[in-house]
Amino acid sequence: MKRVGIAGQENSHHSSDFTLSSKAKYRFYPGKVSINFILFLLLIGVLITSLFMGRYPVDPVTVVIIVVSGILERIGDMIANITGVKIAFFWSIPHTWSVIVNTVVWDVRLPRAVAVVLAGSGLAVSGATYQGVFRNPLVSESILGVSAGAGVGAALAILMDQGTGVIQLSAFVFGLLAVSITFAISRVYRSNPTLVLVLAGIIVGGLFSAVISLLKFVADPYSKLPDIVFWLMGSFAKASTANFILIIPVILIAMLVIVLLRWHLNVISMGDEEARSLGIDTKLFRPVVIVCSTLLTAAAVCIGGVIGWVGLIIPHISRMLVGPDHKDMIIASILLGGSYLLAVDTLCRTLTSVEIPISIVTSILGAPMFLYLLYKAKKAWS
Amino acid sequence: MMCARLEVKNATFSYDGKRNIFEDISFSVDSGDVFCILGPNGTGKSTLLRCLCNLYPLNAGNILIDGLDISSYSPKKLAKKIGFIPQIHTPTFPYSVLQVVMMGRTPHLNTFASPSNRDREIALEALRTVNIEHIWDKPYTELSGGQMQLVLMARVLAQEPEILLLDEPTSHLDVGNQIYTIKMIRKLSQKGLALVMTSHFPDHTFLSSSKVGIMKDRKFLAMGPAEVVVTEENLQDAYGVPIKIVHIDGEIKRKIAVPVVKD
């Protein structure tokens, strides 16, 4: 059908405030692309810093060489595996560093850094997505009860004397279980699905928190209780490749789906009715996006325990940096969430001789940051 | 066989399955028509409008668009046929005007895609059409009610539908913006769109509508051309207060409807 246009611009009363500044280039937030690029450089910077910081000193240049050569060697191995020919690649870098240094950087610090970055990005994206879908800038990634559920799963596994792998799996499964219950409750009431879902999340979160308290109460106060408490305060000390390698695809796929759908989050944040009248199948779109965010949160929590504030604050900072358009904002959240959590985790393991639980630091930093953001963004919300 | 652009046959709707909001309603709207639904608060005018774009499915009856039942359209296909301008409300996030207008391109986009430069051009053209190009980068949340209404108009133009539903487009607007909106509605109908709108202003039907339906007690009390339907008797029946209709000559040269208030 022909485009509907109206010939002959009407000389309305609106034209009085017409200015020639509309000749501007119609670009929003000049330099928004470069802000995301700067955030990418920031992530790389934080990553390198986190690899050379720690009790075992390694200089930054060596760190970069170890990582680059490690990646190239893995690529070489892969090619050798596929083609069956082992070739000495020209990029093979002679190991001029000790085995210990190699182990510290490649086997200890790098897997942990990758886990932290994925968890931080996941929490931030999932918070950003929830805020968009629920049209509320004050919801965070734990709104549907996933953190409380994961806490129950982890506490149960700890009580049953299970190893790290089982604790993580149990946390993941119970996190998803809690959100499923939230969904089931919300299905009972058919009016205003978004509001009912949030309320159901509060109910389920409350219930599962009570179960956590019960499990803490019955736990052996000398052996089990400290483990539960420490898990709930969050830590990446036990994040090793073997454990979280299964979680990586979950995080990457869920994140990819949200990245692909990110522009449509703008439309859904205008409200269900409006989104549907604009052609979005909200009955399909909303659950898909919520399930992906939930998977991201559950995955992050099962690697690092309950980590507060990241999913609330990072989306706000991203919005401040690149504007409210989810097309840019989601990317900024990924980059900033990863950098932020990795910086915090690096502080946690280097500040004192004993590692500080990460959630303590994210909360101490998060509360005043949020206060500042509320103050700054007051105008945009009112 | 020629079929009307939008045809409603014996439509009945109820939220709870017990109490019908409206029942057995039939009408049809063609290209170039402006069908205005009048009626007191709470008669289900807005509900009817939402049924017309399948936000709520009917309990009985059919809604046909170009001869096909509305339920056979996918949300995307339907949004290319029908545009809906809801009552203005302030969204949570301070999207810019152009971003809001680009949302109108949603049904034309691949689910995994973002708007292209062409979509942006179409959105800008829509802004030019409603004369608000100069506020393209203002946050939508900071606009006045009149400007928001125009942005939503621009958004629906960017959507390029064939049928346009407007929920009380003139409420919350000052007189100047009301008349501006009515002029826009007239122009859109001249361009070949079929329009259905709800209104609280019987007087406006003389300015813009080719067809009027007065809703009361789950049904249309009267339906037809504004000249025939908008009578003192029908308005008294619908609103419960005496309303006078007088013809004014001279510069105005039209009928006007004014409520009569006696102490």
Q: Where are the domains of chain A?
A: 116-377
A207-224 confidence digits (pLDDT tens)? 999 999 999 999 999 989
CB A178 within 8 A of CB A144: yes
Which pair of tokens denotes residue A152? 């129950």
**pLDDT at residue A163, as a whole number:** 86
* Range A116-377: architecture per CATH: Orthogonal Bundle (1.10)
Per-residue pLDDT band for A11 (boundaries 50, 70, 90) equals very low
Nearest to A91 by CA among A68, A64, A59: A68
Q: Pick B131's closest partner by Cβ from A10, A26, A264.
A: A10
Distance from CA of B199 to the nearest CA of A (A): 20
Mutation target to probe the A interface, by most A beta carbons within 10 A, among B49, B55, B92, B151 is B92
Residue A239 has a pLDDT of: 73
Residue A195 reports pLDDT greater than 60? yes
Is B124–A26 a contact, with Cβ atoms under 8 angstroms apart? yes
Chain centre to alpha carbon of residue B260: 28
Beta-strand pair B34-38/B60-65: unpaired
Q: pLDDT tens-digit profile of A101-138?
A: 888 998 889 999 999 999 999 999 999 999 999 888 88
pLDDT > 90: what percent of chain A?
Answer: 53
* Probe site for chain B from A2, A11, A14 (most B CB atoms < 10 A): A14
A339-362 residue pLDDT tens: 999 999 999 999 988 899 999 999
**Cα(B101)–Cα(A252) distance, rounded to whole angstroms?**
32
- Do A276 and B160 lie within an 8 Å CB cutoff? no
Complex confidence, ipTM: 0.90
For the residues B161-171, what does the mean pLDDT come to? 92
Q: Residue A20: what pLDDT?
A: 34
Instruction: Give the best residue of A263, A316, A327 to mutate against chain B (max B CB count within 10 A).
Output: A263
CA-wise closest residue to B194 among B2, B1, B5, B3: B5
Tell me which of A71-75, A89-93, B21-25, B230-234 is least confident: A89-93
More confident: A343 or A24: A343
Model confidence at A3: pLDDT above 70 = no
Average pLDDT over residues B59-68: 94
pTM summary value? 0.87
> Among A249, A243, A276, A299, which residue's Cα sits nearest to residue A125?
A299
Nearest to A131 by CA among B75, B148, B91: B91
CA distances from A6 to B129, B160, B181, B188 (A): 6, 13, 13, 8
Contact B222, B229 (CB under 8 A): yes
What pLDDT was estimated at residue A370? 86
Structure confidence at residue A17 (pLDDT): 37
Measure B39 CA to nearest chain A CA, in Å.
23
Reply yes or no on whether the pLDDT at B2 is more than 50.
yes
Q: How far apart are CA B58 and CA B48, in angstroms?
A: 9
Chain A nearest CA to B111, separation (Å): 7
Q: What value, to the nearest 5°, has the Cα angle with vertex B62 and ends B60 and B63?
A: 135
Q: How far apart are CA B108 and CA B114, in angstroms?
A: 10
The answer on pLDDT for A24 being more than 60 is no
Report the 10 Å Cβ neighbour count for A292. Answer: 22
Cβ contact, residue pair B160, A3, below 8 Å: yes
For residues A150-175, give the mean pLDDT: 92
State how beta strands B34-38 and B194-198 pair: parallel
Judge whether residue A14 has pLDDT over 80: no
- pLDDT over 60 (residue A27): no
CA distance B114 to chain A (A): 6
The Cα A329–Cα A332 span in angstroms is 5
Residue A31 has pLDDT above 60, yes or no: no
Pairs of CB atoms within 8 A across A/B: 135
Task: With beta carbons less than 8 A apart as the criterion, state whether A301 and B182 touch.
Answer: no
Cβ-defined contact of A18 to B78 (cutoff 8 Å): no
